[in-house]
């Protein structure tokens, strides 16, 4: 009969037996040390469709390595493996289209090579690097590969002893529905977009002449969109520009420099697709033109750095195909908000971190509530200090009249007609520090949040994590669907996005050094 246990026993003993001899132990240890793995999600149309394990097995020659790709479905079941040999690869993204997996890597002949001062010049002279894309069909065959040369100068290590390689703008990979794949990358000389069809054939390659601090790639229907954030020294939150290209031939469409009808700059928080139409949507904050040196702080919000929110639907490339939706609070037309954006019902300002479009056409803005509080005690103490210790009042004024406490997640809803309402507040624990005016939000916010969708029920959820709980909030029903106490799990617990309509629970067992994964319904 099938002698499984004996088989396992013997295998175990073979390994155990071998490890008993010191020299052999060294072999196993060294071989294991050469193996490195990374785990990536496979994404299509911004949805998770599977997982991929990428393992560098060993160095195969002076300039090549053996690799293994393990492909898993969305339930973490193995569906196959692919082995191949290549130069040093750094996997940066995986996407899927028309039953083909596209993997994008940064390929170099110098990354992670041991640094020797004498030989470094030679390494620099012979440096080669490229954007390497690999196209794998669902029968485990590498159908095509592509190399696009990049200009990267090897970097001597600042710590450790391995040579580094970094791009000016990291590789971004997206699938183009019904077409293939798009890749953006920026090296020391140029920024470019490369488009491929689903068989891996390069459709076109285009250099992006614009200089920008950041780029964001998004594909929608038959377009490839590149959101550029240009440097604007007078206002670091503005300077956005949208460039779009025809996915099939790369021909450019007129650029869009988002501004509202009054000419105010827009801060773009989200570039995504409408879940119903698949068309491009931009959303974010309308920037108040008055200059404010306190951006990113409680005082800045108190000062009124934003005058409202917006969403822009880009259905085509003519002016009539762009629908805008602006909602202002600085004109005092909305009783739910003060002139400076104070949400009356929540008793807080909104530090909007993210926005998304729902199935009903509403645009939601998720924000950390910033609660101002007059420093009564501080002021009295300040007066007393002045009286007794002669500390100048300027010091006290410098500290500000208010403290700002970050607490709760607020949801604002902008409906398709342009009505902005305060939808609800999801309770989270208060920030530990009652920060003074000049301290940035990021230092005292205690929660973070992201959006998940159940396409079947057309319901959106906001996953809010604070030090005590993970709350899964049903946006449409305006209620918490599930609260998971994180303290029970001793800080080793994470709730991550998973396949559509599900989230992944990851729990690390420190004692056993294992991670338990479970995919649970929203």
Partner 1 sequence: MSSLKPFWLVLCLLISASALAQQSSLYTYQDLSHFYYARQKDSLKKAWDCPDVFKEKAAQKKYKEIWDGRTDRVMGYIADDAYVHDKEVGDYIEGVVNQLVAGNRQLLPIPPLVMLDRDPSVNAYAVGGNFLAVNLGLVAWCRTREELAFTLAHELSHNILKHWETSAYETAKWLSSDEYKQSVNAVLDSKYERLTRLRKVMETYTFSRTRHQRYHESDADSLAIILMRNSHFAFSPSFFQRLDSADMEYRQPLQHPLKDYFTVYQLPFDDSWTQKRSHGLSTRAYNFSESSNLEDSLKTHPDCLVRYEKTKQWATPNPTFTRVPRTIHDIASRMLIWNMYNSTNVTACLYRILLIKDQGNTDPWYDFMVSNVFTALLFADHKLSRFNAIGVMPKEYISKDYYGLQTMLEQMPRESLTAWTQSLQGQGFWKTLPQPEKELKPLFYAIALDPEDSDKNRKQAAKTFFAENGNSMYCEFAHVFEK
Q: Which stretch binds partner 1 (CB under 8 A): 21-29, 110-118, 180-188, 228-236?
A: 21-29
Out of 31, 156, 395, 429, name the contact with partner 1 by CB under 8 A. Answer: 31
Q: Does 490 bind partner 1 (CB under 8 A)?
A: no
Out of 40, 46, 53, 74, name the contact with partner 1 by CB under 8 A. Answer: 74
CB atoms < 10 A from the CB of 17, how many? 11
Q: Does 345 bind partner 1 (CB under 8 A)?
A: no
Out of 54, 71, 88, 171, name the contact with partner 1 by CB under 8 A. Answer: 71
Q: Does 320 bind partner 1 (CB under 8 A)?
A: no
Nearer to partner 1, 52 or 435 (CB): 52
Q: Does 104 bind partner 1 (CB under 8 A)?
A: no
Report phi then psi at 127, rounded to 5: -60, 135
Contact status, residue 412 vs residue 384, Cβ threshold 8 Å: no
Shortest Å distance, C-beta 333 to partner 1: 41
Tell me how many degrees the CA angle 285-291-297 measures, rounded to the nearest 5: 65
Shortest Å distance, C-beta 156 to partner 1: 24
For 321, counting Cβ atoms within 10 Å of its Cβ (0-12 exposed, 13-18 middle, 19+ buried), the class is exposed
Q: Which stretch binds partner 1 (CB under 8 A): 72-80, 169-177, 185-193, 236-244?
A: 72-80
Q: Does 34 bind partner 1 (CB under 8 A)?
A: yes
Q: Look-up: residue for tokens 């490369």?
A: 194
For 366, counting Cβ atoms within 10 Å of its Cβ (0-12 exposed, 13-18 middle, 19+ buried), the class is buried
Q: Which stretch binds partner 1 (CB under 8 A): 139-147, 157-165, 348-356, 438-446?
A: 139-147
Contact status, residue 358 vs residue 475, Cβ threshold 8 Å: yes
- Size of the residue set binding partner 1 (CB under 8 A): 70
Nearer to partner 1, 18 or 432 (CB): 18
Residue 439: C-alpha distances to residues 299, 300, 305, 443, 445 (Å):
9, 10, 16, 7, 11
Rounded to whole angstroms, how far apart are CA atoms 180 and 508? 37
Rounded to whole angstroms, how far apart are CA atoms 410 and 238? 23
Rounded to whole angstroms, how far apart are CA atoms 191 and 211? 9
Q: Does 4 bind partner 1 (CB under 8 A)?
A: yes
Q: Does 89 bind partner 1 (CB under 8 A)?
A: no
Positions touching partner 1 (CB under 8 A) are: 1-7, 9-14, 16-18, 20-21, 23-24, 26-28, 30-31, 34-35, 42, 44, 47-50, 57-62, 66, 71-75, 77-83, 96, 99, 138-141, 455-456, 484, 499-501, 505, 516, 518-521
């Amino acid at each position: 009969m099938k002698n499984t246990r004996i088989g396992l026993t013997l295998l175990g003993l073979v390994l155990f037996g071998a490890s008993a001899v010191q020299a052999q132990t060294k072999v196993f240890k060294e071989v294991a040390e050469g193996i490195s793995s990374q785990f990536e999600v496979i994404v299509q149309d911004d949805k998770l469709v599977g997982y991929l394990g990428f393992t560098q097995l060993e160095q195969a020659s002076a300039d090549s390595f053996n690799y293994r790709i393990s492909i898993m479905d969305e339930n973490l079941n193995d569906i196959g493996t692919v082995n191949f040999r290549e130069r040093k690869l750094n996997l940066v993204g995986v996407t899927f289209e028309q039953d083909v997996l596209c993997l994008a890597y940064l390929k170099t002949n110098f990354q992670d090579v041991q640094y020797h001062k004498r030989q470094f010049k030679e390494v620099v002279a012979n440096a080669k690097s490229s954007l390497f894309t690999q196209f794998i069909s669902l029968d485990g065959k590498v159908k095509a590969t592509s190399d696009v040369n990049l200009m990267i100068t090897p970097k001597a290590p600042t710590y450790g002893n391995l040579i580094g390689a970094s791009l000016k703008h990291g590789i971004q990979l997206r699938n183009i529905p019904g077409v293939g794949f798009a890749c953006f990358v920026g090296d020391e000389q140029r920024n470019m977009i490369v488009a491929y069809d689903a068989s891996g054939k390069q459709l076109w390659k285009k250099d992006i002449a614009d200089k920008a601090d950041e780029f964001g790639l998004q594909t929608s229907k038959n377009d490839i969109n590149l959101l550029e954030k240009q440097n604007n020294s007078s206002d670091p939150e503005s300077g956005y520009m949208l460039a779009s290209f025809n996915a099939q031939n790369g021909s450019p469409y007129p650029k869009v420099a988002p501004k509202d009808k009054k000419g105010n700059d827009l801060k773009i928080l989200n570039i995504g697709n409408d879940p119903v139409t698949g068309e491009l949507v931009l959303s974010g904050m309308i920037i108040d033109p008055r200059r404010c040196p306190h951006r990113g702080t409680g005082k800045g919000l108190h000062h009124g750095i934003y005058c409202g929110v917006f969403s822009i639907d880009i259905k085509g490339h003519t002016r009539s195909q762009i629908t805008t939706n602006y909602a202002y609070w600085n004109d005092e037309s909305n009783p739910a908000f003060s002139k400076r954006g104070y949400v009356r019902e929540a008793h807080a300002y909104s530090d909007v971190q993210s926005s998304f479009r729902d199935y009903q056409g509403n645009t939601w803005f998720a924000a950390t509530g910033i609660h101002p509080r007059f420093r009564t005690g501080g002021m009295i103490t300040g007066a007393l200090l002045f009286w007794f210790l002669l500390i100048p009042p300027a010091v006290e004024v410098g500290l500000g009249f208010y403290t700002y406490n970050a607490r709760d997640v607020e949801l604002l809803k902008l409906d398709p007609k342009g009505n902005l309402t305060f939808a609800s507040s999801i309770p989270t624990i208060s920030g530990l520090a009652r920060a003074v005016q000049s301290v940035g939000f990021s230092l005292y916010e205690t929660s973070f949040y992201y959006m998940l969708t159940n396409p079947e029920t057309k319901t959106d959820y906001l996953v809010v994590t604070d030090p005590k709980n993970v709350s899964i909030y049903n946006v449409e029903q305006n209620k918490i669907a599930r609260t998971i106490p994180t303290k029970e799990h001793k800080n080793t617990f994470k709730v991550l996005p998973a396949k559509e309509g599900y989230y992944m629970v990851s729990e690390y067992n420190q004692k056993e050094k294992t991670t338990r994964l479970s995919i649970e319904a929203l």
